[in-house]
Structure 1
Amino acid sequence: MKKDTHEFIHTYQGLGAFGMDRETDEQTLMFYLQKFSEDTFMKTFVPRLSDDELEKIYQCIHGFLKQHITEDEYHELFLKDR
């Protein structure tokens, strides 16, 4: 059974713009991240990154996770291992 979902991308009707207001910014970021994480895109994009770029992306994401979610949330919501 699949654990991951990407439902937002299939129903979003709003703008794909950033800098207008907080709600639009949040929705645009969710849209971009779900499009970004799509398997076909990742298979094309990731191999083109340098080692330094891979590390920067990982450190950025990992840093935000550590800063904004608890360890329990990390396991339950991100890893889905509980």
Structure 2
Amino acid sequence: MTTHSHQFVEKFDGFVGFGLSAESDMDTVIYYLQKFSDDQLMALLRKRLTDEDREAIFDLLSGLLRRHLSEPEYHRYFLKE
């Protein structure tokens, strides 16, 4: 059974760009994150990312998760436990 989904990027037909409004900024962030995490793109990038790149990505994402999710939310929504 699949536990992860990326439906937003598949269905979104709005404006993709940053700086127009808070709503379009959030849509764009979601769109970029879902596109960025595509398996084929990650297979290509994993060979090219430097140690510093990987550390920066990990630090940004883990910091956001710590700041914005409670521990139960982290386990439910991120770890999918």
Q: Please give the TM-score of this superposition, normalised by the length of structure 2.
A: 0.96
- Unaligned 5+ runs, structure 2: none
Provide the residue aligned with 1:21 in structure 2. 21
- Number of equivalenced pairs: 81
Identity %: 40
Q: Please give the TM-score of this superposition, normalised by the length of structure 1.
A: 0.95
- Unaligned 5+ runs, structure 1: none
User: Cα offset for 1:44?
Assistant: 0.3
Runs of 4+ in 1 over 3 A off after TM superposition: none
Q: Distance in 2 between matches of 1:71 and 1:10?
A: 29
User: Cα offset for 1:46?
Assistant: 1.8
Q: Distance in 1 between matches of 2:8 and 2:53?
A: 27
User: Which digits, 9 at most, give the CA deviation of each residue in 1:23-68, with x for residues without a partner?
Assistant: 0000011011000000000000122011111111101110010001
